[in-house]
Amino acid sequence: MEHGNFIAGEWCASGTGETFESVNPADTRDVIGRFQASGPADVAEAIRAADSALPAWRATPAPKRGEILYRFGALMAEHKERLAGAMTREMGKVVAEARGDVQEGIDIAFLMAGEGRRMFGDTVPSELPDKWAMSIRQPIGVAGIITPWNFPMAIPCWKMMPALVSGNAVVFKPATDTPHCAVLLVELMAEAGFPAGTVNLVTGSGEAVGMPIVESPDVPVISFTGSTDTGRRIAAVAARRLKRLSLELVVKNGIVVMDDADLDLAVDGIVWSAFGTTGQRCTACSRVIVADAVADELLDRLVARTAALRLGPGNDPETDVGPLISRAASEKVARYAEVAAREAEIVQGGAVATDRAGLEHGHFFEPTIVDRVRPMDRLGQEEIFGPLLSIIRVADYGEAVLALNQTRYGLSSSIYTADVNLAFQAMRDFETGIVYVNAGTIGAETHLPFGGWKGTGNGHREAGHVALDTFTEWKSIYIDYSGHLQRAQIDNQRA
Ligand code: UN1
């Protein structure tokens, strides 16, 4: 089946006349549909539609805008099973996790719907008598939303819900690997009642669709999640045009296990964080930094648990670990497994798993554990984005902190310890936007800020009420009701 773009409230074909296929990563013979391979002219049309919708949308009271977000969240909840099934088919994650992805979209829709009635500014005393001082948020304009395939519903919602509730219109370009998930979302957004032109979907490549959005002078704010190379290119263009830009890029998350940790708990958290979503979460754990005293014991238990994980298609209830998103992704993990074989010690997995019955048409890779990685090795430094976990052995907490922070990235981290003092030191010392104590690195909730330190981002946050910061301008307003000239910083300083 062929799916259109959604522009000015209508489903339509691209002017290019070209389409591309989306396939099931667990079985590439299963073609999900054909999608518009759009070009710059489609982007221009979508931006025009968004621009025309803006005046009425920004004039709509925010609580009213919020009501549409509530309806959208409720529709997602009503269609949760259908959406999750479609997501598993297109992206590969196991159904329980696909449901979680949809749920995260629902959560942010409801959170941001509530922002329609909050959207707090400050009302503060003036330094002068008979003068009022306050600040309000206002929308920026047309927002360009460029999203990855790994959370194909949650992340578009993280970006579009705060943009829309604060009165912006959006042009949404989803990842080329998951256009069907985007179409299903936008269908429900239209049904929820977002006015024509406030939500526009244009499918296609980063070059032909993404970059024209970023380059357009009529799109003053961009939110992007993806690779650092693309992020840098976007940042350079956005800098030339002085655009607002929120970036969520490469990660290298770690879990520290101290010698007093509950090892069963740690193993549960590590296996879930490293191999859940086949290691394809921004928050996934790719390094375990473990105290020497318990390293062998932890590794034995980890290997036993990992060896028992069942690979398979995500819609099979027996499956623990689904496929990678694409052949390229699987080849990338295989290249890192070669590095591991040369530079460290593979103690579990390490190969593509297509030779097993039922897996031959998908992008399956064995959950892999590599021991004796050093912090500055390639495996300790580079993002792999797949089911490959490195073990780094350290002597004590001091070495652990050093190893954990010795990376250019900083999204999520965790410590397993029974020592309350160490737990608090970790909360202070770990250089990441998210820190967990006695839990793995994945599973952030939507009402707290989400984002990375250092090279993972550019200082902005998604989720939480601070997500509004990306999509709003502040306006400070002073009302002088004294009836005469009052000079700030001067008249109130007279002796
Ligand atoms: C991502 O992988 O980009 O914290 C998002 C988590 C999820 C979100 C991950 N709530 O694992």
Biggest alpha carbon–alpha carbon distance for the chain: 88
Q: Is 247 helix (H, G, I), strand (E, B) or coil?
A: strand
Give 152-175 as a DSSP string: TTHHHHHHHHHHHHTT-EEEEE--
- Helices assigned H by DSSP within 382-442: 397-405, 420-429
pLDDT band at 357, cuts 50/70/90? confident
Residue 49 has pLDDT above 90, yes or no: yes
For residue 167, what pLDDT is reported? 98
- Nearest residue (by CA) to ligand 1, atom 6, is 443
Residue 83 has pLDDT above 90, yes or no: yes
Residue 356 has pLDDT above 80, yes or no: no
Given ligand 1 and candidates 223, 255, 450, which is best to mutate, with the most ligand atoms within 8 Å of its CB? 450
Question: Residue 324 Cα, ligand 1 centroid: separation in angstroms?
Answer: 16
| Cβ-contact 452, 432 below 8 angstroms | yes
Question: Residue 248 Cα, ligand 1 centroid: separation in angstroms?
Answer: 11
Question: Residue 180 Cα, ligand 1 centroid: separation in angstroms?
Answer: 20
For residue 333, what pLDDT is reported? 97
Per-residue pLDDT of 164-214, as tens digits, reads 999 999 999 999 999 999 999 999 999 999 999 999 999 999 999 999 999
Ligand 1, residue 280: give the atom nearest the CA. 2
Q: Which residue bears the tokens 């191999």?
A: 275
pLDDT band at 355, cuts 50/70/90? low
* Of the candidate ranges 149-158, 216-225, 236-245, 349-358, the one whose mean pLDDT is the lowest: 349-358
For residue 494, what pLDDT is reported? 72
Residue 358 has pLDDT above 90, yes or no: no
Average pLDDT, the chain: 97
Share of the chain above pLDDT 90, in %: 97
360 CB neighbour count, 10 Å cutoff? 11
Ligand 1, residue 445: give the atom nearest the CA. 10
Question: Residue 424 Cα, ligand 1 centroid: separation in angstroms?
Answer: 24
Residue 459 has pLDDT above 90, yes or no: yes
For residue 369, what pLDDT is reported? 98
Residue list, ligand 1 pocket, CB within 6 Å: 104, 150-151, 155, 281-283, 442-444
Catalytic residue positions, numbered: 248, 282
- Nearest residue (by CA) to ligand 1, atom 1, is 282
Radius of gyration (C-alpha) of the chain in whole angstroms: 24
Q: Is 61 helix (H, G, I), strand (E, B) or coil?
A: coil
Ligand 1, residue 446: give the atom nearest the CA. 10
Residue 464 has pLDDT above 90, yes or no: yes
Structure tokens at 275: 């191999």
For residue 495, what pLDDT is reported? 63
Residues 6+ apart with CB under 8 A from 86: 180, 181, 184
For residue 75, what pLDDT is reported? 98
Given ligand 1 and candidates 442, 446, 447, which is best to mutate, with the most ligand atoms within 8 Å of its CB? 442
Question: Residue 122 Cα, ligand 1 centroid: separation in angstroms?
Answer: 31
Question: Residue 155 Cα, ligand 1 centroid: separation in angstroms?
Answer: 8
Residue 354 has pLDDT above 70, yes or no: no
Per-residue pLDDT of 402-432, as tens digits, reads 999 999 999 999 999 999 999 999 999 999 9
Question: Residue 281 Cα, ligand 1 centroid: separation in angstroms?
Answer: 6
pLDDT band at 353, cuts 50/70/90? confident
Ligand 1, residue 225: give the atom nearest the CA. 3
| Cβ-contact 254, 124 below 8 angstroms | no
Given ligand 1 and candidates 151, 247, 461, which is best to mutate, with the most ligand atoms within 8 Å of its CB? 151
Distance CA 431, CA 422 (A): 15
Ligand 1, residue 148: give the atom nearest the CA. 3
pLDDT band at 493, cuts 50/70/90? confident
pTM: 0.97
Domains of the chain in sequence order:
2-249+457-477 (3.40.605.10), 253-437 (3.40.309.10)
293 CB neighbour count, 10 Å cutoff? 14
Residue 53 has pLDDT above 70, yes or no: yes
Given ligand 1 and candidates 283, 436, 441, 448, which is best to mutate, with the most ligand atoms within 8 Å of its CB? 283
